[in-house]
Amino acid sequence: MEARRRLLEAYERLRPLTLDPGEFVVSRATTLFEVLVATVLSQNTSDRLAIRALENLRRLTGHPVTPEVILRTSLSKLLEAVKPAGMQKQRAERLRAIAEALARAPGLLDRLKGMGVEEARRALMRLPGVGPKTADVVLMVAGKATFPVDTHISRVMPRLLGLERASYEEMRTMAVEALREPDRLRELHMKLILVGRRWCRPRQPRCGSCPLAPMCAYAQKRHAA
């Protein structure tokens, strides 16, 4: 109950925070397959670099990027296109593997809209290299009530809630139970990422200027110390 109250309060405190969706590579995707592509490109790198890689792919394959075009494009060209994001061999091979799986399951991404959240998550996580976070990003963009937990959120939420540690599923469940509505969950997701980027850094967090400091367990503990 305490976690829900704090997350609702955090949502309200962050409402005035200006959000530029264009800073997030997934916001630039125009189809669910492009959301998958964007999420693969953003793993272990910045959104800025992932955006450059996505734009390269579009110049190479056309817009929107499709599984069919990925499969028709040589691996060497894919490697060059996604190079700005780093780990280009791993990313290019993963995109090819996902495209191949979707070619064997035509219409899967369209069918997600008619599924419940958990059924849709299971369907997505059967795709090669798609884990909980990638599945939740796709479903969040599709308007489902779920909550992806990235590196920033996995640091911000435990600090905010005064938890020594919390698993991915624990954080996702707490957020969904607190906010429930897809639009609010998406807004909190993006704004907690901004908090992680601007204030709640791994080392030397800027608690003094963070909008969540007045109700953050970590900030209050630091202040008391």
Is 80 exceeded by the pLDDT of residue 51?
yes
What are 98-108's pLDDT values in tens digits?
Answer: 999 999 999 99
Residues 158, 136, single domain; the answer is no
Q: What's the domain range around 78? A: 31-141
Is 90 exceeded by the pLDDT of residue 181?
yes
What are 69-89's pLDDT values in tens digits?
Answer: 999 999 999 999 999 999 999
Per-residue pLDDT, averaged over 207-219, amounts to: 94
Residues 163, 124, single domain; the answer is no
User: Read out DSSP for 112-138?
Assistant: GGGS-HHHHHHHHHTSTT--HHHHHHH
Q: 54: pLDDT confidence band, cut at 50, 70 and 90?
A: very high
Residues 49, 131, single domain; the answer is yes
What are 15-46's pLDDT values in tens digits?
Answer: 999 989 889 999 999 999 999 999 999 999 99
Rounded-to-integer distance, Cα 134 and Cα 129, Å: 9
**Domain of residue 180, CATH code:** 1.10.1670.10
What are 107-152's pLDDT values in tens digits?
Answer: 999 999 999 999 999 999 999 999 999 999 999 999 999 999 999 9
**Cα distance between the two ends of the chain:** 27
